[in-house]
Every structure is written in structure tokens, then in C-alpha cells.
Amino acid sequence: DTAVSQTPKYLVTQMGNDKSIKCEQNLGHDTMYWYKQDSKKFLKIMFSYNNKELIINETVPNRFSPKSPDKAHLNLHINSLELGDSAVYFCASSSEGGNGAEAFFGQGTRLTVV
Amino acid sequence: KQEVTQIPAALSVPEGENLVLNCSFTDSAIYNLQWFRQDPGKGLTSLLLIQSSQREQTSGRLNASLDKSSGRSTLYIAASQPGDSATYLCAADNAGNMLTFGGGTRLMVKP
């Protein structure tokens, strides 16, 4: 039974399009995150979302917007996709956000912008 | 701003060897440090979590240590196996909500 699941696993789209990546966790966690892994394999935090409080990494363009319909879901919407957005995007969750709890990651979504 | 560095970037060892992966961080005010494993094309699997008040954690053949004062953590893998081949990532949790990752160590264990 998958703890943190993302869909789709692969996404190929053209520049300028708008796309969404969905994330769901069944761990009962109250904090969810989005991370980006670039072509050099560096993982960087994009957002964390805890009880309707959104913490944004200031380096993330405002074309990226997380949306959380409920505590178990955190979707990532990307507008006007650019070539540089190509990367693997990971969703994660943890309990007790802010208290250093263990983070669990999804399998990633490989986004390719052509 | 936290910076996390992992050395070496790549490591190749024969099966059965004990090995140590290194992780250093610049800001010692961490909540915890977490070690992950990433297989090619796959997600991250959590291996060990060391809270800031702890010195080490063990799971099977894995042992992770933490020295906050020197800004270092090590992951010790005993009796390595080909199935251990993967990229190992360490991540420091400063803000309590966000992990800062190192660049990873790509490990190859040869049969």
C-alpha cells in the first residue's frame, strides 16, 4: 500500500502549456512538500504546506502554485511551462511539521518540457 | 543558509567491504539529519533519521552518526552487497519543515 503516491509518473508537454501533478499521502501526516531534482540530481525544496500554512522557497517562480484540497493531498500546478522546468518533482510528507519528523517521499514525476 | 556536502561523489568497492559515506553541513542548528537511498529512476527511501539530541542510529547493517558541533554525519555500511548499489543522500532539517540535501554519493558494490 503506497504511502505517498504521485501521478503521473511521466509527463511530456510543450512549452507554454499548463500542467498539474497530483500527490496523495495515506499516512495521516499534516505536512506535505514539493521538491525538485534537477538534471544534476540536486534536490531542492520548493514548498511546504502545513494546516493551510504555505511556506514558499523564494527561488521558486510564481508560475508554480501548490494547491491543497485537504490534508491528504497537495497538487502542484505549473503555468506557462519552460524548458528549464524539466526535472523530476518529488512529493513528500511528514508528521508534526516543524518538529523534525521523518519525511517520506513519493516515487517522483519526471517532467519533460519540449 | 544551510549547505550540505557529501564526499565522495562516487564510490566503487568490492562486495563484502565495510564503507563510510560522509556528510557535512554548515549550520549546526538542525532538528535532525536524515539519510536516504535513491535507486535509478526511483523515489527516495528513508534509511535512518537521527534527531539533533542523538549521536547515532542503527538499522541492520547501517549505522549513522551525528556530530552537530563539527557539522558532520557519517553513514557506515557493513559487509556491503551488490544490492546496496544506489545513490545515498543526506539531508539536514533546519527549519523543521524543509530538508536541505547534499549532492549524494553514488555507490557501486561489485560482486
* Shortest alpha-carbon distance between residue A6 and chain B (Å): 10
Model pLDDT for residues B13-57, shown as the tens digit of each residue: 999 999 999 999 999 999 899 999 999 888 899 999 999 999 999
Nearest to B64 by CA among B50, B82, B78: B50
- The answer to whether the CB of A11 falls within 8 A of the CB of A110 is yes
Q: How many Cβ pairs closer than 8 A exist between chain A and B?
A: 63
Mean pLDDT score, B60-68: 96
DSSP code of residue A40:
T
Q: Say which residues have a Cβ less than 8 Å from residue A87's Cβ, sequence separation at least 6.
A: A36, A37, A38, A39, A110, A111
* Shortest alpha-carbon distance between residue B97 and chain A (Å): 5
- The answer to whether the CB of A113 falls within 8 A of the CB of A87 is no
pLDDT surpasses 80 at B96? no
- The answer to whether the CB of A78 falls within 8 A of the CB of A19 is yes
What pLDDT is attached to residue B95?
Answer: 73
Q: Tell me which of B44, B53, B59, B94 to substitute to probe the interface with A (most A C-beta atoms closer than 10 Å).
A: B44
Task: Tell me which amino acid residue A40 is.
Answer: K
pLDDT by 10s per residue, chain A, length 114: 679 999 999 999 999 999 999 999 999 998 899 999 998 888 999 988 887 678 777 788 999 999 988 889 999 999 999 999 999 999 999 886 556 678 899 999 999 999
Query: Which residue among A42, A48, A90 sits closest to B98, beta carbon to beta carbon?
Result: A48
What pLDDT is attached to residue B58?
Answer: 96
- The answer to whether the CB of A114 falls within 8 A of the CB of A14 is yes
Nearest to B23 by CA among B43, B1, B40, B2: B2
The lowest-confidence range among B40-44, B67-71, B85-89, B90-94 is B40-44
Residue B60 to residue B58: CA distance in whole angstroms: 6
